[in-house]
Amino acid sequence: MFDPTDEHFHDECGVFGVYNHAEAANLTYLGLYALQHRGQESGGIVSVQDRIFHTTRGQGLVADVFKQRELDALEGDKAIGHVRYSTTGGSANSRNLQPLVVDTADGGLAIAHNGNLVNGTEMRRMLERRGSIFQSTMDTEVIVHLTALSRENTFSDRLVEALKQVQGAYALVAMDENQIIVVRDPHGLRPLVLGKVGEKGIVVSSETCALNLIEAQFWRDVEPGEMVVISPDGIRSYFPFQKQKRSFCVFEYIYFARPDSNLDGINVYNARKAIGAKLAEESPVEADVIIPVPDSGVPSALGFSQASGIPFELGIIRNHYVGRTFIEPQQQIRHFGVKIKLNANPHIFKGKRVVLVDDSVVRGTTSRKIVKMVRAAGAREVHVRISSPPTTNPCFYGIDTPTRQELLASSHTVSEMCSYITADSLCYISLEGLYSALNAKRVDYCDACFSGEYPIPFPNQVGDQQLTLLKESFYK
């Protein structure tokens, strides 16, 4: 599914699970609905009852994959679910749908995973040499095979042994016949939270916004390196991995998470407004109107407007009914790809000095088209302000990003990028300003896409050329 107007980074996926609730599958379905922004290519739910695993998975949006008939067949008081935007493993392959479900010598097992393993290819080759047969191209299956090969006595111990052999980012939800196990990687790169629903139900979710939809109560974040086992014996917490430096993905606050979510105690909407206000402080400009690039630029544009005193207007209107694919007409229409999704209102722009606020510039092609569209709508000046630092490096921890060579900021100065997108000025928030707005310490976050400082080392990789080859192998 290709959308030429969508130049944003994409999170790999979202995970959700419910334990000890009669409507486990239905609640998981609603939870995935709330997490749809984290993955739009496929969805899946697995439930278990009387040792029988019931599975529904398919390509497309949650509403397309699950109908009432499918939900009725998902019996049991335990369920886990997944929405996917592919990184490792192609989305077009129906075998790459999650949660993965396998039969082992100790019974059935289902796993859903958000993140990416930097040594996934290496571990897969090792397993294949030992005789393992893979049914998908996802690194999630590496974890499944390592778990199945373990000789530890309990499911949780086998999973720990498996995860000790992998490196990378993971927020993982696993389920056997009796329990749900939740694990967050030792660096805590991807988000994961726990909640309570009903009298005794337990919920796990990538974000708190999904808890709100099913009227669950937020309990707490899963800590980096923590394993939570939810079983008939109760809820037990372990920290079985060697402690690592906390490195939560700072881009969750800038773009990935939904504005109504709270991540590690920080409200995403308030964070984005604060980033916009800091951006206005760092890069002021004389202008008549502040315009967000919808939808991700809206909170930051509000913060910029309030801090600068320049009026805020919704001058660019988004068509929310555009799918991820569309047929481009044979007749040549300038900037068709952008115009079908975004349209400038000439009444707002005519004769105005405009500040466009967006969350990032990736390749720069969409930003260039938007600037030209705004000028065509009558803007006298167009100033672009970006609520993240320049993106100069790809992500290897579960975010779909281009290779380093494709990132405009990796090979162009800000002045050169400004000329390319045809703006009158272009300014980014500084890395220091970003953390100041979040009232956070940089040492606790991963900002490798801005700084190139990767918290998890890559096996047998040195230098930009090798990183590019690694990147291309991840997103082939």
- Mind telling me the catalytic residues? 13
User: In whole angstroms, what is the distance from residue 409 CA to residue 371 CA?
Assistant: 18
Tell me the pairing of strands 180-184 and 193-197. unpaired
Tell me if 359 is assigned to a ligand binding site: yes
Tell me if 418 is assigned to a ligand binding site: no
Q: How far is CA 411 from the centre of its chain?
A: 25
Which pair of structure tokens corresponds to residue 362? 């990736």
Q: How far is CA 197 from the centre of its chain?
A: 25
Tell me if 427 is assigned to a ligand binding site: no
Q: Name the residue among 61, 143, 135 with its Cα closest to residue 109.
A: 143
Tell me the pairing of strands 425-428 and 381-386. parallel
Q: Name the residue among 381, 373, 380 with its Cα closest to residue 426.
A: 381
User: Does residue 21 contact residue 195 with C-beta atoms inside 8 Å?
Assistant: no
What is the 8-class DSSP label of residue 241?
S
Task: Categorise residue 257: left if φ over 0, alpha if ψ from -120 to 50, beta otherwise.
Answer: beta
Helix (H) or strand (E) holding 205: strand 201-205
Q: Name the residue among 195, 178, 207, 199 with its Cα closest to residue 114.
A: 207
Q: Name the residue among 347, 468, 463, 364 with its Cα closest to residue 418.
A: 364
User: In whole angstroms, what is the distance from residue 335 CA to residue 344 CA?
Assistant: 12
Q: Give, rounded to a whole angstrom, the gap between the first and last alpha carbons of the chain.
A: 15
User: In whole angstroms, what is the distance from residue 122 CA to residue 138 CA?
Assistant: 13
User: Does residue 183 contact residue 163 with C-beta atoms inside 8 Å?
Assistant: yes
Tell me if 395 is assigned to a ligand binding site: yes
Q: How far is CA 251 from the centre of its chain?
A: 9
DSSP string, 448-475: HHHH---SSPPTT--HHHHHHHHHHHHT
- Counting every residue, how long is the chain? 476
Tell me if 424 is assigned to a ligand binding site: no
In the chain, % helix, strand, coil (3-state, to 5) comes to: 30, 25, 40
φ, ψ dihedrals at 247, nearest 5°: -145, 60
User: Does residue 14 contact residue 82 with C-beta atoms inside 8 Å?
Assistant: yes
Cite the annotated binding site for Mg(2+) by residue number: 296, 358-359
Cite the annotated binding site for [4Fe-4S] cluster by residue number: 249, 395, 446, 449
